[in-house]
Structure 1
Amino acid sequence: MRALVQRVTQASVAVDGKPTGEIGQGLLVLVCAMQGDTDKQSEWLARKVASLRIFRDDDGRMNRSLLDVGGAALVVSQFTLAAETKGNRPGFSTAAAPDEGKRLYEHFSAQLAGHGVTVANGIFGADMKVSLVNDGPITIWLDTESR
C-alpha cells in the first residue's frame, strides 16, 4: 500500500458539495491499495501512520506522534498514487481492483481507529474535493514495499 501523509492544522473532504469528513490538527492520509496487497500491509501502514513522529515537541523538534498530540486522521482513497509515469499519460494498472482497494482502504481506516486515532473518511471511488492547511509543510511518502 502507498500513502501520502500530510501534517495539517485542518483538513476536510466533500462530495457533491457536502462534507463527508473533517478534522482539525492531525494528518491527511491519501491512501492507495496496490495489486497483491493484503491485510498485513494495511495493518503495517496503519501502525506506521499512528506512530510516525512528525509533530513538534516542547523544544520544537519533530518528536511526537499523532497519538501523542491527540490528533485525528482524515483518510482519503487516492488510486492515482499508483501512477506509472513512464510516458506523459499516467497508467494505473498496478492499483488494486476497485473491490479489493475499497476493502483494504476500509481495513486501513479501521486499523488506524483501532490504534486510538479519531478517523474521518472520504467516500471510496467518489469525485472528492479535498481542502487542507498543510502544517510545516510536512509531507511524507510511505510505501509498504520499501519497509
Structure 2
Amino acid sequence: MDLESENSGEEDADDKLNSPVWSEIQPESDAEFMEDYGLVEEVTSASRDNTILPIDCYRHFITDEIIDLMVRETNRYAEQYLQTHDISRRSKSHQWKPTNDVEMLKFLGILIEMGLVQMPKLEYYWSNSQLYGSEIIRSTMARD
C-alpha cells in the first residue's frame, strides 16, 4: 500500500471540507425611516434680548452634566496617576490640585481657540511674540 497516495487522498478531502462555499448574496432591503427627524428641542438664549449666541448652541450640547463628568474623571485619573507612578521631587505634578467646572470650561475654550488658530508648536500659544502667541489663551490659563 502506498502511504503517500493515501495521505494525499485525505488532504484532498480535508481541502474540500475547509474550502469556502460560494453562494449568491441576497441584497438587503432598505427599511423606510418612520420616525420624526430634525431638531427636537429649540435652543433658547440666556440673554435678555433673546439673541441666540454661539455659546447657547455650545451649551446645548456641552451641558453642566458633561462638564461635571469631565471634571470628576479628570480628578480621578490624576489621583490614580499620582498614586501609581514614581514622581521625582522636582516634578510639577506635586503642585497638582483638583480641577473644577470653571477651569474645565476655560480649558475647552482654549481647545476651540487652538482649533481655529493653528500654530506650529504648542508653546507658541503662550508666546509673547507678536508673530505668535494668543493674548486670550495666555490670559485665560497658564501653560504649566
* TM-score of the two chains, using structure 2 as the length reference: 0.25
More helix by share: 2
TM-score normalized by the length of structure 1: 0.25
Q: Which has the higher contact order (CA 8 A, sep 6+)?
A: 1
Q: Which has the larger radius of gyration?
A: 2
